[in-house]
Structure formats: structure tokens, C-alpha cells
Amino acid sequence: MSIRTSRLSRPLLALSRPLLLSTLSTSTTRPVRPTVPLPALRPVIPSHAMTMSTRTPDAAKGPKVHVALVQLPAAMPGGKAAQVARMREMVRDAVSQGRDAGEAVDLVVLGEMWNGQPSHDELVKNAEPIPAVGAPEASWPAEATTCREMADAARESGVWLLGGSIPEAADGRLYNCATVWSPEGTLVQTYRKTHLFDLALEKMTYKESDTFGAGDRLASFDTPFGRFGIAICYDIRFPEIATIAARQGCTAMFYPAAFNTHTGPMHWELLQRARALDNQIYVATCSQARDPGAKYEIYGHSMAVSPMGEVIGTAQEKEAIVRVTFDPEVIANTRAGIPLLTQRRFDLYADVSVTPPTANGK
Amino acid sequence: MSIRTSRLSRPLLALSRPLLLSTLSTSTTRPVRPTVPLPALRPVIPSHAMTMSTRTPDAAKGPKVHVALVQLPAAMPGGKAAQVARMREMVRDAVSQGRDAGEAVDLVVLGEMWNGQPSHDELVKNAEPIPAVGAPEASWPAEATTCREMADAARESGVWLLGGSIPEAADGRLYNCATVWSPEGTLVQTYRKTHLFDLALEKMTYKESDTFGAGDRLASFDTPFGRFGIAICYDIRFPEIATIAARQGCTAMFYPAAFNTHTGPMHWELLQRARALDNQIYVATCSQARDPGAKYEIYGHSMAVSPMGEVIGTAQEKEAIVRVTFDPEVIANTRAGIPLLTQRRFDLYADVSVTPPTANGK
């Protein structure tokens, strides 16, 4: 039996192995509605560890989402004040660029630890208490200066702002903490990095957990244009986070991050493409720009990847604004063409988004 | 504090984000034994669905493993007899090439459905009953002709043979079934493809499950040089399989496969690199070679990827033998440099290799 598929259907014809040619057939000669409905999202029960609403949104439906990744310069002379001032300028630039292009920015994303230099002393100096989610601004601690600037930036431009991460001072220690701000300047979500990088080798030791505490929950946030997951840098190496987010209806995972020039070229793009393709969602990272004089060479390359694993936007190492659009229809087409959602074998392996953590876990 | 690390330590210095420079320090000026032991494999309880021994091997220890991927020509004139004859020749070639290079081949891998053409009628014609694991050859059904040839090929060359997959006739239907043969010609493991590709779109329908039954268990096999996981083609899109295999001590995942020239360029390498990097194991695929006259254009590109996600060997689209070496020391170094094994947060998400399947699973 011959196979006739139009050129138009190619994007949907995303088969991994249609080996059995005789079972492959065109169903009609003229466009009609599919006889079988597109795969529906499985209803899932949120893990106890994921803070989000329980009503699962459908990432394959809804409006397009216009996102700007703001790759701020790292370690500017002038420290925190200079970083925050540049953040304000670049958020304004990102929003006006979107407006000029007729794709008004919905959501701006900043990088990891973007408000100062990465030395221990500087982190301690720049750390601030982060207000409770939803707390009225009048009740915020005076020291929450970066938070006030992020709230103002969101309000000023009328955008959602995923404020990358900043050093948070709480419980007498530091956390690597992300914040999310609504267009009204309300803090709607926080996420403390859950996977800390500790290393002990012959030639060197490195212990992030000496400085930072680890978060104790995963996080996402809801907007009128969909749900989005948040994790930070090294977290991207743990696939479960993106899988849980996708199964709970997220359109995208965002990773503020600061890979270096050693692992960056090897793994930065690969990890993002893997998380996107395996979970059929968008993935975006936001880095700081490289400080040419720094010992720690930041890779930069803030990036966004489609549900098919294609890079749809990227910066180089310098200061940059990357604008990309997330299209739920692309998610729908990807899931229809490669129906991973309906073909999983949860009789053979657990669903990490449903099963409660094991008692013998870490 | 300045950072001094020798060039030698670079492969181990695989940090994702050593942002806190002040906590990064060289511990000694001369080489000594690490003060902290390398991360040990967590003991895991095999899932009920995975057939393997319960004693977890350590993939980071043991001898090097020399592997040959045999990319056989697809759909030769002469059908099954010609395919099987060419298999015998190419296995001999692979083994003698290894011997000549001073890296005696331990394990030969074949592609998916390598013993005939991919049409439905041909699959039915070429299908054969597959003997029970461990059954004496005298008891095998007369129709198990491809199996006899694979057993002979393994015995003749004194190698382990992962015989790709062939159409298995059982229970009045077909299975896409992989077999593993010891150097003595004993069948030591089988695996029926567990994820079947079914698709119903406006312009086309494709239903692999109309022809094949799906397997009901995952599988790996033990050798004197380590444990290895098996899955087939579309299975590679389901990350849980490789994760379970890695957590149960596998050195590598093998995927006999037959991607096409549409999804091949997009996803073939990406999926392999992702499975390898996320699980810090080797991954290898074996395809058929492309049949230039066929409607189904096979991508070819049999490939092997290191635990760091680097492609260490690949074919093009034509008939080829790819020889690669898996080195447990590379696994050990990768896991020491990026200690995913010890830094997972099973308090935040389930361990798919431990948790029994959920009752509400598919």
C-alpha cells in the first residue's frame, strides 16, 4: 500500500519508527476533523512537594506567550546598585522592543544571582529578606530593596517578572531564591534552589551547601496565559523537576542559571533540548552576561527551546535581550505527532508526578 | 582565594555552577588520595517490572568493554536468507577487526528488525517463535532459524550478541523482540518492545499495535563485564527505562532502532546524548543501513555516546561496523565530577527505580 501524505502534514508526521508501512495509510483525501481526538492531558495529582494550584491547566491550549530573557551584565562596577539600575533599564528595553515588534511582552525573565558579584562576601552583603508571597508591600522589610525594584519593574511595564534568583537571607543563612512578580507588583511565588552542588575531589573541593540552604519544595506559578515551572541552574540536571511540571500542565520550564565555559559548551543546550523534547514543553534559561575580567567565566547563551527540541532563540556571551514566543499550538502539534502523553507505561514505571516520595528516600 | 587546578583535573572539574568562588579551594599541592570517597551507587530495589539479578553491580568498576555495532544493510535482495547470511559475515568481520586492533570485541549489537523487509507481509513471513531463555538448543522449535544463526554467530566468535530485534511469533500474534546470546550460544535474555507507536491524525493513521503486541516488562542482562539495559527504538523517548537501568547498575543502554530521515536528524543523537548524560551511563543504538530504494528511509547513524554526553562513535547511512569502548573509569570520573547519584532529592520526587507502579497507572 502506498503512502501519500501531503507536505503540509510533515510537521505532524513526527514518527520515531513507522516501520510497518502497510499499516500506515492516509485516512481521507480531503481535510476533515480527526476521527480520534487529540491526546488529552492526563489528570494528575500534584506531588506534595510542588506548590501550585490543583486544577491542571492544558498547556496545549490558550494564547501565545511572548517572553523576554534579559541577560544582564555580571559584576558591574558599582555593585548591587548598578546591577539593579541596569535591570530596570533592560526590563524597560525588553518591553518596548516587544511593543515595537507588535508582540507585547507578557513575561520577563532574569538570570541567576544577577544582583551582584559571585564572591561569598558579596553574596552575603547583597542578600536580603524576601517578603512572604502575597504580603502587602507596606509590610515588607526595609532591607528587601532588590525585591522592591523587581516589583516596581513589573508594575511599571505591566508584565510578569520572573526575577531570576538573588541571595535570600533567612533563618540566619542564605538561600538561592527565585521570585515571581505579577504586573501589579505582587510577589506570587518563590523558589529556593533545591539541588546544591557539592563536590569533593582530589584536586579541589567545592561545597555550595556550606553557604546556601536548600529549598524543600518545587514550584510553579499560574498566569492568565498558562502555568510555568521554575528551577535554578544545577537543578536542570535532575529531569524529574521538568517532568513533574509538564505533567502538571506547565507550558514551559524556566531555569535562571550561570553555567561556566567548561560545562556550558558541553551540556547547556543539550540539557535544555532534552528537558523540552522529553516533556513536550518549552524550556528557557536566563544567564548573566560574561564578565571578561572574572575568574569564573560565565557561559551566557540565555536560550529558549521548543517542545520539539529546537533552539528558537539564544544570546551569545554578552549583554542581550532574547525575545521568543511560546505557542500552545506547537505543544498540541508536538503531542499529537509524538503521542508520549498517552503512550506512557505507568504499569512498568512510576509516575514521578503522582507517586508520593518513598520513605527510604534521601 | 585563587583557584589552581591542573589541566589534568579538568575532566573532573565538570561543574555546572561553581558560582561561589570563595568556597572553591585546592585541597593539596601534590596528588594524594581523595579525602572523601567517590560517590557510591545507592542500593536499589529492582522494580517488579525489570527482569534482572537483584545484586546491583557497580557500573563504575570493572574491565573496559569493547562493543561493535553492526549496521546491516536493510531489505537485501534474497530476503531473510540473505539478511541472515550477511549478519553472519558482518559479525565475523566485527570480531576480526577488533582482534586486529588489539581490542577484542566483547559484545556485538544488531539493529531493529534486521532480518527482512519492513512490510507487514514480510514481517509475518519472517517471524519465528523465540525459544525460552536458557532452554537447551535441542528443544527449540524448528522454525527458530534466525535464533539458531544468532546462537551460532555468538558461539563461533566467542562473543556476547545482542541480536537487535526480529519479529517474534507467539500467542497468535507478533512481537518486536530482542534476544541476547552468550558466547556459548545460550539465550540469556529477551525483551519485547514495550512502547508501541500508535497515531491517529487528520492526514494519516499509523497503528503499530494493530500488528504487534507490547511487552510487559523491562529487561537487562548480566555479563562478566557488567550489566546492560535493552530497549527498542520508540522506547528511547521514555526516559524512565534508561533511568531504571542506570540505577540498577547498568553500564550502558542499548537501543536497536530504525529512526527515519524525518525524526532522525532532529532527535536521534539528542535522545541518546540525553539518556547518557542524565544517567551517567553509556548509550548505544544500532540501526539498519538505508535501503536507497525504500519508501521508508532509514536514518542509519548507529551511534554510541559517553556518560558525559559525547558521541564517541557513529556510522553514516550505509552498511558499517562501529567499534567503541566503554570504560567504567569514565563513568566513575563523570559521577565524581557531577555527583548526580548522591545529590538527588528523593524527598521531592519519587525514585522510578524503587517505587512500585501506581494502581491508577495505565
Among B205, B266, B338, beta carbon nearest to A237? B338
Question: Within the 275-314 window of chain A, which residues sit less than 8 Å (CB to CB) from chain B?
Answer: 277-278, 295-296, 308-310
pLDDT tens digit sequence for A49-68: 566 656 789 999 999 999 99
B293: pLDDT strictly greater than 90:
no
Q: Which residues of B touch A35 (CB under 8 A)?
A: 200
Among A201-205, B74-78, B171-175, B195-199, the minimum mean pLDDT is found in A201-205
| Under 8 Å between Cβ of B298 and B317 | yes
C-alpha cell at A329: 499550538
What is the average pLDDT across B117-122?
Answer: 85
- From chain A, pick out residues whose CB is under 8 angstroms from the CB of B35: 200
Task: Determine, for residues B22 and A352 on separate chains, whether the beta-carbon distance falls below 8 Å.
Answer: no
Task: Specify the pLDDT at position B202.
Answer: 74
Q: Who contacts A41 (Cβ-Cβ below 8 Å, separation ≥6)?
A: A56, A58, A59, A60, A249, A341
Residue B245 has pLDDT above 90, yes or no: yes
The pLDDT of B35-52, averaged and rounded, is 41
Determine the pLDDT at residue A70: 98
Whether B211 and chain A come into contact, CB under 8 Å, resolves to yes
Residue B41: per-residue pLDDT: 34
Write out chain A in H/E/C secondary structure.
CCCCCCHHHHHHCCCCCCCCHHHCECCCCCCCCCCCCCCCCCCCCCCCCEECCCCCCCCCCCCCEEEEEEECCCCCCCHHHHHHHHHHHHHHHHHHHHHHCCCCCCEEECCCCCCCCCCHHHHHHHCECCCCCCCCHHHCCCCCHHHHHHHHHHHHHCCEEEEEEEEEEECCEEEEEEEEECCCCCEEEEEECCCCCEEECCCCEEEHHHHEECCCCEEEEEECCEEEEECCHHHHHCCHHHHHHHHCCEEEEEEECCCECCHHHHHHHHHHHHHHHHHCCEEEEECCCCCCCCCCCECCCCEEECCCCCEEEECCCCCEEEEEEECHHHHHHHHHHCCHHHHCCCCCCCCCCCCCCCCCCC
Task: Please answer yes or no on whether A238 and B340 come within 8 Å at the CB atom.
Answer: yes
Task: Determine contact, residues A217/B19, Cβ cutoff 8 Å.
Answer: no
Q: Does A13 touch chain B (CB under 8 A)?
A: yes
Q: Is A295 within 8 Å of B3 when comparing Cβ atoms?
A: yes
Q: Which chain A residues have a beta carbon less than 8 Å from that of B19?
A: 112-113, 118, 208, 233, 258, 296
Confidence of residue B27 (pLDDT cuts 50, 70, 90): very low
Terminal CA-CA length for chain B: 55
* pLDDT reported for residue A21: 34
Report yes or no on A354 lying in a domain: no
Condensed to tens digits (0 to 9), the pLDDT of residues A327-353 reads 999 999 999 999 999 999 999 999 998
Query: Any idea which of A283-287, B205-209, B232-236, B320-324 has the lowest mean pLDDT?
Result: B205-209
Residues making up chain B, counted from first to last = 362
| A158-172, B30-44, B236-250, B294-308: range with lowest mean pLDDT | B30-44
Are the C-beta atoms of residues A316 and A300 closer than 8 Å to each other? yes
3-state secondary structure B312-346: EEECCCCCEEEEEEECHHHHHHHHHHCCHHHHCCC
Q: Is the pLDDT of residue A17 over 50?
A: no
Residues B269-281 pLDDT 10s: 999 999 999 999 9
pLDDT value at residue B8: 29
* Predicted pLDDT of residue B206: 80
**Does the pLDDT of residue B150 top 90, yes or no?**
yes
**C-alpha distance from A203 to closest chain B C-alpha (Å):** 6
Verify whether the Cβ–Cβ distance B351 to A361 is below 8 Å.
yes
Residue A173's pLDDT is what? 92
Please indicate, yes or no, if residue B9 is contained in any of the structural domains.
no
Point out the residue among A12, A198, A362 whose CB comes nearest to the CB of B346: A362
Query: Which residue among B112, B120, B200 places its CB closest to the CB of A34?
Result: B200
Task: Say whether B178 sits in a helix, a strand or coil.
Answer: strand
pLDDT tens track for A219-259: 999 999 999 999 999 999 999 999 999 999 999 999 999 99
The domain total for chain A is: 1
Please give the pLDDT value at position A189. Answer: 98
Does the pLDDT of residue B362 top 70, yes or no? no
Q: Is residue B179 part of a domain?
A: yes
Cβ-based burial of B216 (10 A; exposed 0-12, middle 13-18, buried ≥19): exposed
A206 inside 8 A of chain B by CB: yes
Measured between CB atoms, which of A243, A263, A340 is closest to B237?
A340
A124 near B CB under 8 A: no
- Whether B265 maps to a domain, the answer reads yes
Tell whether the torsion through CA atoms of B4, B23, A294 and A236 is positive or negative.
positive
Tell me if chain A has a CB within 8 Å of the CB of B354.
Answer: yes
Q: Is the pLDDT of residue A199 over 90?
A: no
A5 in any annotated domain: no
Mean pLDDT, chain A, integer: 85
Q: pLDDT for A119-133, tens place per residue?
A: 888 899 999 999 999
- Look at residue A268 and tell me whether its pLDDT is greater than 60: yes
pLDDT of residue B357: 54
Q: What is chain B's mean pLDDT, rounded? A: 85
In a domain, B360, yes or no: no
- Determine the average pLDDT of the residues in B33-44: 34
**3-state secondary structure at position B219:** strand
Find which of B6, B8, B17 to mutate to test the A interface (most A CBs within 10 Å of its CB).
Answer: B17
CB B16 within 8 A of CB A234: yes
pLDDT at position A357, please? 54
Mean pLDDT of B124-149: 97
* Range(s) of the domain holding residue A86: 50-343
- Among A233, A250, A286, A319, the active-site one is A233
Q: Which of these ranges, A346-355, B190-199, B208-217, has the smallest mean pLDDT?
A: A346-355
The answer to the question of residue A282 being in a domain is yes
Inter-chain residue contact A120 with B346, CB threshold 8 Å: no
DSSP calls for B40-96: PPPP-PPPTTEES-SSPP-TTSS--EEEEEEEPPSS-TTHHHHHHHHHHHHHHHHHH
ipTM value: 0.86
- Can you give the CATH number for the domain in which B200 is found? 3.60.110.10
In a domain, A234, yes or no: yes
| A340/B200 CB distance under 8 A | no
